[in-house]
Amino acid sequence: MKNRSKITIFLLVSIFLFLLMSQRVLADNAEGNPAGAVGFTYSIDYPNNQIQEAGYFDLLMTAGQKQTVKMKLSNPAAAEVKVLVGLNGAKTNKNGVVEFGDTEIKNDKSLKFAFEDIVKGPDEVILAPGESKDLELEITMPKTEFDGVILGGIRLIRDDSADQKAGVSGAQIKNKYQYIIGMTLQVNQHKVVPALVLNSVYADQFNYQNTIFINFSNSKAAMLSDMSIEVQISKQGEGQVLYETKKNGMRLAPNSFIDFPISMQGERMVAGNYSAHILVQGSDDIREEWTKDFEITKEEADKFNTRDVGLVAEKGINWLVIALIAGGAILGIGLIYWLLSFVKMNQKNNNKVSKKISNHRKKSR
C-alpha cells in the first residue's frame, strides 16, 4: 500500500510539473510573438451587403452576382509568416459537430451548390515581418435562384513546415492553432426548415471497435440545431434491446449527413437480421422517428471481430502457446537442475580425488 501511495504521489507531481512547464512554454511563446500562438492576426472588412454584425461573413447576394470580399492579415512579429488558406464547405462529423476544415467527409447528395465551387482564393499568403496584407476572396453565386444558405468556412493556419524541417533537439509537444471564419451566402431571406432523410443502417467499426452506424441527411439548406438522437438496436422481430445510445446538443449542417455511431460495447458482432429504432429531434420542432431493418452478414461479422481491438485483447488463452511456454520452462528448469547436479557431482568427485592424493602423500612421508 505504501509503494502504491508513493507511485500515485509521484504521478500527480509529474503531471503537475508537466502542466506547469506547458503553461510556461505557452507564456514564453505569447511573450515572444505579439500575435500569440497562431503567429498572425486577422480582421474582416465587412461589405455593405453584410446582413448582421457577427464575427463571420453573413452575405445577402443576388443569383449570378460576383463579389470580392477582403480580410486583412497582419504579422506583428519579427519573422516572416506563411499563412495557408483553406476554403471548405460545412460538414457534420460523427459526433454531431459541424466542421469547416479539411475533412474526408463527402458531400451529401442533396447538396446542389458546393461552397468550394463558389468561393475562390489563394492557397497561401506570405507576410513579411511587420507587414499587413489583404486576403481577397472571389465569390460567384449560382445563376439559379435558391432558398436557404450556402455555408462554409475560411481556414487560416500558419505554415510551420520550415520549422519542422530545421528540427529541434529534445522532446517537443507541438500544438497547431488556426482561425476558422464562417461564411453564409444567400439570395433571399425566406424561412427554410430542415428536413431529415434516413439513408441507411449498417455495421462497421469506429476507433477499431465494433459499431452500428445510423446514416441520415439534412436535405435542406438550413442548419439543424439542438439535435438529439436516440437509437435502440434489437434482433428483428424481438423486443429485447441489445444496444442503445442517446446524445444531445448536436448540430447538422445544411445539406449534409451524419454517420452516427452506436457502440456494441466491446461485444462480438453476431451475424443476423436486426432492427434499429431511431428518434431524432431538433430546432424548428423537428421530430423524425424511423424503424429500419438491416442485416449483418457472416463475412462482415468475422471481418470486424478479427479487427476489434478489445476482442483481439480478450480472445482467450492460446493453449498451444501456453503448452510451448510451459514445456520450455520445464525443459529449462530440468536443464538447470541437471547442470547443478553435474557440477555438484563433479565437485564431489574432485574432492574425493583430492582427499586420496592428500592421504597418499601423508603415507609417503
Q: Are 83 and 156 in contact (CB under 8 A)?
A: yes
- Please give the grid coordinates belonging to residue 81: 509568416
Average pLDDT over residues 317-343: 67
Q: Give per-residue pLDDT as tens, 142-167.
A: 999 999 999 999 999 999 876 655 55
Residue 227's SS3 state is: strand
* Pairing between β-strand 91-92 and β-strand 98-99 as defined by DSSP bridges: antiparallel
- Please give the grid coordinates belonging to residue 129: 515581418
Model confidence at 341, pLDDT cuts 50, 70, 90, reads confident
pLDDT of residue 332: 72
| Pairwise CA distance, residues 49 & 128, whole Å | 32
| Pairwise CA distance, residues 102 & 151, whole Å | 15
Q: Grid coordinates 437480421 are at which residue?
A: 273
196-313 adopts what CATH topology? Immunoglobulin-like (2.60.40)
pLDDT of residue 204: 97
Phi then psi for residue 242, to 5 deg, are -90, -45
Q: Give per-residue pLDDT as tens, 20-52.
A: 344 444 444 444 566 678 899 999 999 999 999
pLDDT of residue 27: 42
Q: Where are the beta strands (DSSP E) in the chain?
A: 41-45, 57-60, 66-74, 81-89, 91-92, 98-99, 119-120, 124-127, 132-140, 150-158, 178-186, 196-206, 209-218, 224-235, 241-252, 256-263, 272-282, 286-296
Q: Give per-residue pLDDT as tens, 83-100.
A: 999 999 999 999 999 999
Question: Residues of the chain with pLDDT > 90: what percent?
Answer: 67
pLDDT of residue 339: 72
Q: Give per-residue pLDDT as tens, 107-141.
A: 999 999 999 999 999 999 999 999 999 999 999 99
pLDDT of residue 365: 55
pLDDT of residue 152: 98
Q: Is the pTM of this model over 0.85?
A: no
Q: Give per-residue pLDDT as tens, 235-248.
A: 999 989 999 999 99
Q: Give per-residue pLDDT as tens, 306-315.
A: 999 988 655 5
CATH of domain 36-163+176-186: 2.60.40.10
102 has a pLDDT exceeding 50: yes
- Please give the grid coordinates belonging to residue 217: 441527411
> Do 36-163+176-186 and 196-313 fold alike per CATH?
yes
275 has a pLDDT exceeding 60: yes
pLDDT of residue 193: 98
Q: In this structure, what DSSP letter does residue 309 have?
A: H
Could you tell me the CA-to-CA distances from 111 to 116, 185, 299 in Å, in that order?
12, 14, 34
- Domain boundaries defined on the chain: 1-32, 36-163+176-186, 196-313, 318-346
